Amino acid sequence: MDKAKYLYGASGHCKVIIDVLKSNNFAITAIFDDQPKVDMISNVPVFEIAQLLNLEAGKILVSIGNNQIRKKIVSKIESPFFTAIHSNAVISESSNIGDGSVVMAGAVVNADAKIGKHCIINTGVVVEHDCQINDFVHVSPSASLAGNVTVDEGTHIGIGACVIQGIKIGKWVTVGAGSVIISDIPDFAVVVGNPGKIIKINSIHE
């Protein structure tokens, strides 16, 4: 029998993950949050995180969209993680998707693409062949990565952004919505526009 499945983070992102799991006829046992504001989400009970210790052992997925917060929470969890892939996503048999990652409806992950741990591949995203997406990356809805793109840890690619083939994007980068990326991007950069231009270099804490 499969272990119980739990979500950590009672948010709008959590609602979408529940739909992803429902598409595969998987049930969530409970949702946990540090400061829950509701008792139920999509008919799933919400509890204080301290109550996790009182329930049966199971696998967990962190249902928080912010990459930095998701990484911080993951570092504190000892339970094993599971992966959620919508039944309408198109996933190549030669691709690889890490533990704790989520692939939303309509996403396409093509041949030999590698998705790291605790990533979000959002609705309608295209990840083309041989892309390498490292841990804690969020690729927002309708963004497209051409072949052989590398995206390093913690980067957030905005809704509708496009990245041409062979580009390397550094860690903890922010790519603005609708941006068109035609050259490599260094760590911590904020990039916007068509073509994408660096407008700021952040620290990881910004």
Tens digits of residue pLDDT in 99-152: 999 999 999 999 999 999 999 999 999 999 999 999 999 999 999 999 999 999
- The two tokens of residue 84 are 């959620």
Q: Supply the DSSP symbol for 148.
A: T
Q: Show the domains of the chain with their CATH numbers.
A: 4-74 (3.40.50.20), 84-195 (2.160.10.10)
Judge residue 168's burial from the number of C-beta atoms within 10 Å of its C-beta, 0-12 exposed, 13-18 middle, 19 or more buried. middle
Which of 30, 6, 1, 29 lies closest to 80, judged by CA?
A: 6
- The CA-atom distances, in angstroms, between 43 and each of 18, 27, 30, 47 are 10, 11, 10, 13
pLDDT value at residue 201: 94
pLDDT value at residue 1: 38
The residues, ordered by sequence, that sit 6+ positions from 159 with a Cβ below 8 Å of its Cβ are: 140, 141, 142, 143, 177, 178
Rounded to the nearest integer, the mean pLDDT of the chain is: 93
What is the rounded average pLDDT of the residues 51-80? 84
What is the rounded average pLDDT of the residues 196-203? 93
Q: What is the pTM of this model?
A: 0.93
The answer to whether 129 is a known catalytic residue is yes
Choosing from 13, 86, 129, 156, which is the catalytic residue?
A: 129
